[in-house]
Amino acid sequence: MNNATDGSTGSCFDDPVGIVLAGGASSRMGRDKALLEARGGILPALAARRLAAVCAEVAVADAGRGLLPALPSLPDGPGRGPAAGILGGAAAYPGRLLLVLACDLPRVPPALLAELARPPAADWVIPRWSGGVEPLCALYGPAALAALGRRVERGRLALHALFEEGLAARVLEGDELARFGQPGEIFLNLNTPEDWERYISTEPGAPPQDPQGQISRRKS
């Protein structure tokens, strides 16, 4: 397992660190989503590859499990769920911008990630569409990370509620967001076995099994 650096060398502080979120409980999936394999590797590897197209540094917030040996493996920070993963990234890379992507968002294109990271960065850059905001595919600056840390100390873990903190936020929505694809497709979230089957059935070359190890295309 690699250890994360403190972010003080090797990269300008204005350049974001890519953070793969891969430490969730996966309760609705019934199996650890971070171990699901599609064409090209397990889901965290696919997310890391897309982040690497934008970020010179990429790390995996996987509660220190070392899912991708070639990349730094980050322990959780305070709280639980995605907030703990993001704050783990903030502790490992203090003062840095973090470009966050959850491993269970497999269709977010690198071009959208590049747009989120495009300078000048705000405190928080986040997509929003009819399905809501997407805080697991967003850019977090130091002010947003500090605000998140304060909220977690008070037991408030909802990421979308960062809008309450008076941050300088840039929201990517409407036609600006639609340039990167149909939001309902690019933000496909793999929460359940049904979501996985929908995803894998449209990914040529992917293993023909669902998360329970059964044949996805069952005989009628």
Using one digit for the tens of pLDDT, what is the confidence trace for 108-159? 999 999 999 998 879 999 999 999 999 999 999 999 999 999 999 999 999 9
Closest to 64 (Cα-Cα) out of 55, 56, 72: 72
CA distance 105 to 103: 5
Contacts of 101 (CB under 8 A, 6+ apart): 18, 19, 20, 21, 47, 50, 51, 108, 113, 136, 137
Q: What are the tens digits of pLDDT across the range 67-119? A: 999 999 999 999 999 999 999 999 999 999 999 999 999 999 999 999 999 98
pTM for the model: 0.84
- For residue 149, the cross-strand partners are none
Instruction: Give me 4's structure tokens.
Output: 């994360």
Domain 17-200, CATH 3.90.550.10 — does that match? yes
The dihedrals phi and psi of 134, each to the nearest 5 degrees, come to -120, 75
Report whether 30 contacts 22 (CB < 8 A).
Answer: no
Q: What are 193-202's pLDDT values in tens digits?
A: 888 888 888 8
The single-letter DSSP state of residue 162 is G
Mean pLDDT (the chain, rounded): 86
User: How far is Cα 38 from Cα 54, in angstroms, rounded to an integer?
Assistant: 22
